[in-house]
Amino acid sequence: MEIIGIDLFSGAGGMSVGAELSGVNVKYALDIDKNALMTYKMNHKNTEVFHTDIRGFKASKNLNFNKNDIKIVFGGPPCQGFSSSNQKTRNKDNILNWLFIEFLRICKEINPEWIIIENVKGIIETSNGFFFEHILNSISKIGYTASYGVLNAADFSVPQIRNRVFIVASKDGIKYELPKPKKRKLITVSDAISDLPILNNGDNYFELEYKNKPCNEYQRLLRKGSKKSFNNLVTKNKELTIKRFGYIPQGGNFKYIPKRLMKNYKDISICHTGIYHRLNLDKPSIVIGNYRKNMLIHPTENRGLSVREAARIQSFPDKFHFYGSIGCQQQQVGNSVPPLLSKEVFNNIIKLYL
């Protein structure tokens, strides 16, 4: 008996990393983003990867399993339409909001023992809960018993406040219990990145020596298997942007920037609170999403985060390398499920078979 994983909408593979850490053999992965799949292939050598649109994919023609395999189909259908920061397409007309139907179509073909769906918290609220209820009803109609809940990555040894919805469904009527928050001190930004190289605005180094030895358990865990720091890439911001950074204290945002330096914004009062946010060394990070566009600032240096710093905050191990342009790498990191969070979700399935 082997527990097999099938990662749909895999992206760079954050959820797959968590699955593998829990003991799942991720046999197949699928995504339409060729840059993310390049990263996935380079880090998951034993996984067969499909670069394709899920809407034309036939599991019966492409996937093979042994009779006794326990199968888990997992993934996060695109969440842009559900995000609370995306009000324009947060409705029933956005075609991206319906790709979960294709996800469940493939689940029905594969007939796995387990289904895991991850998404942003906003999916619960979109269209007054229409989508969420529809997803739960659709899962029930294909014969699965679903459990769900909101998990905060910071409660599971990830240095980031990141709330996500997880739906876990069993074919055999098993009532899944979501993992309970760990009763321990929260991992801070300092805990996550203090050992990484010192960088400047616009630096572009694929590999560098670490600044110092690992300072804590988190750093030791993520440095395991890696002798250097990789993906030390920082967006090159304009002089005006760097000047703005200088006014913002740890934990502060755009509100600290003098209005005379923000004249290109039509109405600064309606800016999202995450814009020009400087991380606080002594607290977990805010959400690592589109951190380049949001101008997320290093806690002590007047620059944006490097790809590796963002990956550390997402809980990717240092031996996991990202590929493509700096913009592609930043997007891959921001779109990912934190591996240490997904590991906990998979652990509660694995325990049932031990």
| 79 is annotated as an active-site residue | yes
Output the six-digit token pair for 50: 């499909």
- Rounded-to-integer distance, Cα 257 and Cα 244, Å: 6
Catalytic residue among 79, 215, 271, 328: 79
CB count in 10 Å sphere of residue 270: 7
> Which residue blocks in 142-287 are alpha helix, DSSP H?
189-193, 217-223, 239-245
Place of tokens 């593979």: 13
Q: At residue 205, what are phi and psi to the nearest 5 degrees?
A: -125, 120
| Beta strand 114-120 pairing with 70-75 | parallel
- Rounded-to-integer distance, Cα 58 and Cα 106, Å: 7
CB distance 4 to 72 below 8 Å: yes
CB count in 10 Å sphere of residue 166: 23
SS3 109: helix
- Rounded-to-integer distance, Cα 338 and Cα 318, Å: 13
CB distance 131 to 104 below 8 Å: no
Active site residues: 79
